[in-house]
Structures are given as structure tokens and as C-alpha cells.
Amino acid sequence: MAEIAARPADLRRGRDAPGAEYDRSLAWAALLLAALGLVMVYSASIAIAEAGRHTGGNAAWYLVRHAAYLGAALVAAIAVFLVPSRHWQQAAPWLFVAGIVLLALVLVPGIGREVNGARRWLNIGIGSVQPSELMKLAVVLYGADYTVRKHAVLKNFRRGLLPMLAVMLAVAWLLLREPDFGALVVIAAVAFGILFLGGMSMRHFAALAGMLAVGFAALVLTSPYRMQRIFGFMDPWSDPWGRGYQLSHALIAFGRGEWFGVGLGASVEKLHYLPEAHTDFLLAVIAEELGLAGVALVIALLGWIVLRAFAIGRRAAAYGRHFAALVAQGIGILIGFQALINMGVNMGLLPTKGLTLPLMSFGGTGLVVNGVAIAILIRIDWEVRQLQRGLPA
């Protein structure tokens, strides 16, 4: 796995003070994003919370739930940090199978919950779970485990890539039945990104990339509502009250924010103009209230997490911990690619797609999964530092 290997000497180029047991800058970046997300979710959701029937007019309805989700994510992260990375490798195939089962259960009438024409949630009594979010992390773990196990034959299409392609097609079919095209794009990027980092031949990678591009284009062309999103993306002002409604109001929010924003809580677009302001379009509210400075801060923090994920992966590979290395870099791809799509949608650079901003947007399953992913990343870094000191990891 030469693509992810690094010299052990690189371990001495740490970002923390001598003797640090984990990457503090990574932990602080994640905590700062989560804290800023809590504030901005509250700001973006006040209007719809006060007007909603299910909220009882409680302005803090979304704030309380988002804080509870963050608490659950923190507890899950602490618990996950205590789990050695080798256990994740052993559990990876079973977690992947469990993810497929949950995706299938979503489609069963009476079990899966439908919202706005999409069936993506499972009711568990105290709330709902979104299996596609769980599958994103499961694919990171399974993809890393598969790549390590199949490394000797990874350049052979029939023995190395075809089995992975087959199971990914099954996942794709389940996601498209929901439908959840955004999750499919992220999961496909993560899976093939890990295979590429693990040693897939450039010829096979180029062929698969071409097949994915053709497949995604075919899905768009054969789906009227996806075509409408493409047309709305190309010229939102041609139909600002229809297919271009969300994007036009997101762009208005960005325009109003200018350099330093209109002030925290002073957004106009969140007042029933911009749909999903506290979830998919949270960045637009940040841009309006905190301006370019606020958006730049979010990009810098997310970018730092991605950079540290790849650095941790290289350091893990230097000690021969190839599964951990691929998991770390897979988490970097997962967070970075989803953030890139969300930001592109908010800024009008990509067609509208229902993906949240990692670690920030409202949503229980996504927040918990992101917290677990960061904890796994910090655990991998901790294990490498233990090995550096000559201690058992």
C-alpha cells in the first residue's frame, strides 16, 4: 500500500506539544464546529419552531433536541474511543450487513417512516434513526477491511473489485428505492476512494469513475424530479417561486451577509423564506448572519479535520497499521466530500441535494455518526502515539 505509506520519522512532526496523547487540534476543531452548529441551529429554527404545531410554539424546541443529540454524540464518542481499532476490523463485515438489513427495513410498510415522499427513517419509539447515515460509516469500515484482505488481488478486476462492486450495487439499489441519491453519491465516493488509496489500478479506477458518471447521469435523465432540480440549479431565477425557490433564497442569504454578516439572529431568510434552514441550508444562514468571515471559519475547521485525517492515516501506515490508515483517510473523505456537496449546494455550485453539513446541521443520526467517526479517528491517532512511545496500543 505504497499510496498511503509514510516514513516513521513523520511521526515526530506532530501538531501538538511534546507528550500529547492525542491530536488535540482535531478534537478542538470538531468541538468548535459542534458548538457553532448548536448556536446556528437555534438561530435558524426559532421561526419555524414558534409556528409549528408539533412544537407547541416553543422557540427552543429544535435547540433542546439538537443539544440532546450532541450529548448523545459525545457519550457515543467517549465510549467508541475506548474500543481498539482491531475490534472495528473484526466487526466491519457484520456492521456492513447490519446496515444493509436496516436499509431494507426502511422500505417495509409500517416499519419505515415516510416524510415528504421519501422513506428514509426507522421509528425506534423514542425517536427515528436514518440507516443511510449509519451505512456511510459502515462503508468506511468495510471498505478498509475489504481492501486490506484483498490487497494481493486488488488489481485483478474479477477477484479484487467485482465482489465489492456487487455489494455496492445492492446498497445503491436500496438507497434509490428510498430515494436518497445524496447518500448514494457520498457512499460511492467513500468506497471507491478507499479502494484507490489501497492500491486499485488506475485503469480500473478510471473505468469505474466513468461508469459511475454515466450511471448518475442516467439516473438524473430518467427521473423527472431530478431533472427539475438540474434546471433549477442552472437558472434558479427563471422560476424563483418553483424549482429555483430554495437556491434563489440561499443566494439571497449569501448576498445579504457580505463580509461580516447582518448579525447573529438577524437573518431574514430563516423567517419562513428559506426551506430547511436548520438542516440542509444551515450554511446559508451562517453566511447571512456571520458573513464571509463565518463561512471561512467553518471551511477552515472542516478543512483542518480532513487534513488531520489524512495525516493520521499516513502515520498509521508508517507502522504497518493499514486498516487503521484506510479508516482514517476514509473518514476524511466522508466528512470532506459531504461538506463539499453541502457547501456547493448552498452556494449554487451544485444541484440541490439533501445532505447536511457534518457536525453542525440538525439531525440526530448524522450527529451521532459524525461523533463516532471523529472518536475512531482520535483513537487511531492515540494508538499510533502509543506505538511511537514503545507502549502497547
Cβ distance 377 to 385 under 8 Å? no
Residues 6+ apart with CB under 8 A from 200: 154, 155, 160, 161, 192
Return the pLDDT at 155: 83
Q: DSSP letter string over 304-330? A: HHHHHHHHHHHHHHHTT-HHHHHHHHH
Cα–Cα dist 214/208, whole Å: 10
The chain-wide mean pLDDT, for the chain, equals 88
Q: DSSP letter string over 215-282? A: HHHHHHHT-HHHHHHHHHHH-GGGSTTTTTHHHHHHHHHHHHHTTT-S-TT--STTTTTSTTTTTTTH
**What is the pTM for the complete model shown?**
0.91
Cα–Cα dist 308/177, whole Å: 35
Cell for 180?
A: 436518497
**What is the domain partition of the chain in residue ranges?**
28-388
pLDDT digit string, tens, across residues 142-184: 999 999 999 888 888 888 888 888 999 999 999 988 888 889 9
Instruction: Compute how many other C-beta atoms are within 10 angstroms of the C-beta atom of residue 289.
Output: 26
Instruction: Compute how many other C-beta atoms are within 10 angstroms of the C-beta atom of residue 82.
Output: 8
C-alpha triplet 82, 73, 270: angle, nearest 5°: 160
Cα–Cα dist 196/235, whole Å: 35
Residue 54 has pLDDT above 90, yes or no: no
pLDDT digit string, tens, across residues 33-50: 999 999 999 999 999 999
What is each CA distance from 364 to 72, 74, 381, in whole angstroms? 9, 12, 26
Q: Name the residue with higher pLDDT: 390 or 30.
A: 30
- The closest of 271, 232, 219, 273 to 250, measured between CA atoms, is 273
Q: Is residue 179 reached through a cis peptide bond, with omega within 30 degrees of 0 on the bond before it?
A: yes
Cα–Cα dist 361/41, whole Å: 7
| pLDDT class of 127 with cuts at 50, 70, 90 | confident
User: Worst-scoring range by mean pLDDT, 41-50, 81-90, 173-182, 308-317?
Assistant: 173-182
Return the pLDDT at 356: 94
Cβ distance 144 to 88 under 8 Å? no
Return the pLDDT at 110: 80
- The closest of 364, 337, 360, 340 to 350, measured between CA atoms, is 340
3-state secondary structure of 58: coil
pLDDT digit string, tens, across residues 340-363: 999 999 998 888 777 899 999 998
Residue 13 has pLDDT above 50, yes or no: no
Q: Name the residue with higher pLDDT: 201 or 165.
A: 165
| Half-sphere CA count of 345, side-chain side, radius 13 A | 25
Residue 220 has pLDDT above 80, yes or no: no
Considering Cα of 176, then 179, then 185, then 191, what sign does the dihedral take?
Answer: negative
Residues 6+ apart with CB under 8 A from 210: none
pLDDT digit string, tens, across residues 231-260: 666 777 777 777 778 889 999 999 999 999
